[in-house]
Amino acid sequence: MGQGTRRGTLRGGSTILAGGVLAAACAPQGAPAGAPQGGARRAAPYTVRVQVWGDVQDKPVYDNILEDFNAAHTDIKMENDHLPQGQDYYQKFAANLAAGTSADLVYFQGWMWPEYAAKDALQPLDDLAGRDKWTTPWPNDEAYDLQTRFRSKRYLSPSNTGTMLVYYAKEYFDKAGIAYPKEGWTYQEFQDLTVKLTRQLDGRQVYGYEWNTGYNRQTPWLRMAGGLEWDRIAEPRKALWTAASVVDALQYQLYDAPYKLGVSPQQAQLAADPSYNRIQFGGTAMKMEGPWFLPQMWGPQARREGGTQYDVQLLPTGRSGKKVHLNLIEGQTLLKSSKDRDAAWEVMKWIAGEQGQQRIAEGGRMCNVPDTIRRLWLPQTRQKYNVANADAFLKAVETGTISTVGPVTVSVLDRDAAVATTLNEIRDGKATAKDAMERLQPKIQQVLDTYWATQPASK
């Protein structure tokens, strides 16, 4: 099984299907109807159904990919099954899987699919990739391996990625006479800046920093000191949430910053005035976000009239002396139930290849690998979103991580161990991080123990 050392999930799927129903839904339905790579043509065109998000950003991208692919092929056609983004998307997938009506290819976030690989619903890609000598979407990188492999087998073909950086509003640095963050800044310097940037300006309160809620977005901060909240990222066996580095990070991010130091807005303030106390509305000076946040800062969708003069910087360096960034990897999986896996494989390769990645970049999402990010995404992103240091998104790939991967997903942890609820108690000022983690630790360990009790001893 693949194991992580330092790098890690935003959300995880948690739907558990009965073994008999799932086995029936996932059983192969006949041999492939044709051969790719110049082999015999199909007797009749095969339509590859692709389940994908139907949100305002992804729908036109995948409709353009469909148009391009269908214009270039005669015996394979692509058809998009657009579903609403969010948890309902995965619930719909689970329902389709149980009913035997799944699409051939399904778009997954890299931390959402392993439970279905464990249930034998997904087709490993190793043999197909080896046959075609195709390795395009798989750099030699830990974050990619963690989110595309399960127990040494490759299942996900990345179509887009997203690293998370510190966004900062230049005006507040300028008014305070403070230099913008530099690439080599430290966590202590970051904390000092949050104090210096918090002030009254033009009759309104401006905070130095807007924190993120939930486990997933805490991951870089948790690991800046060099430790992990698990014994390993892929299918962990032990929870280490009471470690000093974890407690210290959560205490600052969720409790000290808003309640003790007053450098961040409190949750009650965010709820009371959702259109001010956030960086995109002008209420804070710094915030950790990903490339999907760019349109809120600049361009026709900017939340402030005329946009915000801003830039981005790599996250600060913690006590470990190393930087840690989330690198969220998303893409297509191939269902074992596909009636023509070779046809589905051709569509998968097209999306991850040059033609598909051109469309991904045009739509604004960060491309799938460093090469396409650099060539296709960065040039237009700098201009479109007025972000001078856009290269930082690419640099962050080198130190990318993900919270945890495996059938015990973040959603399972939220549901069965109350991780989100417990973190919210710190966020709401109801508990210190130390007290909260001492209560949370045994709950998480119980979830892990219960999972491992069902697994073969060799795993």
Please compute the mean of the pLDDT values over residues 137-154 and round it to a whole number: 96
CATH number, span 19-160+328-387: 3.40.190.10
CA dist 256 and 427 (Å) reads 10
Judge contact between 121 and 336, C-beta under 8 A. Answer: yes
End-to-end CA distance of the chain: 7
Domain boundaries of the chain, sorted by first residue: 19-160+328-387
Whether residue 372 has pLDDT greater than 50:
yes
Please compute the mean of the pLDDT values over residues 113-119 and round it to a whole number: 95
State the pTM of this model.
0.88
- Give the number of other Cβ atoms within 10 Å of residue 40's Cβ: 9
At CB < 8 A and 24+ separation, what contacts does 425-430 make?
A: 426/250, 426/251, 426/254, 426/255, 427/211, 427/213, 427/254, 427/255, 427/258, 427/267, 428/267, 428/268, 429/255, 429/258, 429/259, 429/266, 429/267
Instruction: Output the pLDDT for position 202.
Output: 87
Judge contact between 81 and 335, C-beta under 8 A. Answer: no
Distances (CA, A) of 116 to 13, 22, 334: 9, 9, 11
CA dist 189 and 212 (Å) reads 19
Residue 73 pLDDT grade (very low, low, confident, very high; cuts 50, 70, 90): very high
Which of 86-100, 106-120, 280-294, 377-391 shows the lowest mean pLDDT across its residues?
Answer: 86-100
Instruction: Output the pLDDT for position 40.
Output: 54
Residue 260 pLDDT grade (very low, low, confident, very high; cuts 50, 70, 90): very high
Which carries the bigger pLDDT value, residue 424 or residue 276? 424
Percent of the chain whose predicted confidence (pLDDT) is above 90: 85
Whether residue 380 has pLDDT greater than 90:
yes
Please compute the mean of the pLDDT values over residues 183-205 and round it to a whole number: 96
CA dist 52 and 49 (Å) reads 10
Residue 87 pLDDT grade (very low, low, confident, very high; cuts 50, 70, 90): low
- Give the number of other Cβ atoms within 10 Å of residue 347's Cβ: 25
Identify which of 120, 203, 142, 173 has the alpha carbon closest to the alpha carbon of residue 401: 142
